């Protein structure tokens, strides 16, 4: 009898922990899969200050134009990744990918989506925080 009472007490004590709040796990959205890569990528403005850095396939001047267009359209921050040395001169480096952080308000986001549509990229605003784009898509209209 004593063993049965001890077992019942153990079960009751184990089951008496505070109930988990089911809404707490649902209240925050899942982390964005681009959050960590974005944090690790180089800040585009700082990286492009070096005259030996550019965006893949673009002259340094056109790379700065692309960055300016993204910033003017409202990008919160622009970063670059997929950085590789030039095969002809390893002291020169180019980034093959641009990562863009969108503003949170819908009105501030619209010019960025319009910029992509103007370049023939049908991109829908789905509330994404980041976008990763290959540099070739962002080429300016002027020849590079």
Q: What digits encode the pLDDT tens for the residues 57-80?
A: 999 999 999 999 999 999 999 999
Structure confidence at residue 53 as a pLDDT band (50, 70, 90): very high
Distance separating alpha carbons of residues 4 and 9, to the nearest angstrom: 9
User: Which tens digits make up the pLDDT trace of 9-26?
Assistant: 232 233 333 444 444 445
Question: At 29, is the pLDDT very low, low, confident or very high (cuts 50, 70, 90)?
Answer: low
- In angstroms, the CA 37 to CA 46 distance is 17
- The whole-angstrom separation of Cα 140 and Cα 81 is 19
Please answer whether residues 108 and 30 qualify as being in contact, where contact means their C-beta atoms are separated by less than 8 angstroms. Answer: no
Q: What angle do CA 32, 68, 63 make, to 5 degrees?
A: 90
Asked if pLDDT for residue 8 goes beyond 80, the answer is no
96 has a pLDDT exceeding 70: yes
3-state secondary structure of 82: strand
């Amino acid at each position: 009898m004593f063993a049965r009472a001890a077992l019942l007490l153990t079960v009751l004590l184990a089951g008496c922990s505070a109930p988990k709040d089911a809404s707490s796990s649902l209240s925050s959205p899942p982390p964005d899969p681009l959050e960590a890569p974005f944090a690790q990528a180089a800040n585009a403005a700082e990286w492009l200050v070096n005259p030996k850095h550019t965006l893949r396939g673009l002259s340094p001047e056109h790379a700065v134009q692309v960055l300016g267009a993204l910033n003017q359209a409202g990008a919160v921050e622009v970063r670059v990744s997929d950085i590789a040395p030039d095969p002809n001169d390893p002291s020169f480096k180019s980034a093959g990918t641009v990562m863009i952080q969108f503003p949170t308000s819908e009105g501030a986001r619209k010019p960025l989506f319009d910029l992509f549509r103007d370049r023939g990229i049908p991109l829908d605003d789905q509330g994404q925080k980041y976008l990763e784009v290959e540099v070739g898509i962002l080429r300016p209209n002027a020849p590079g």
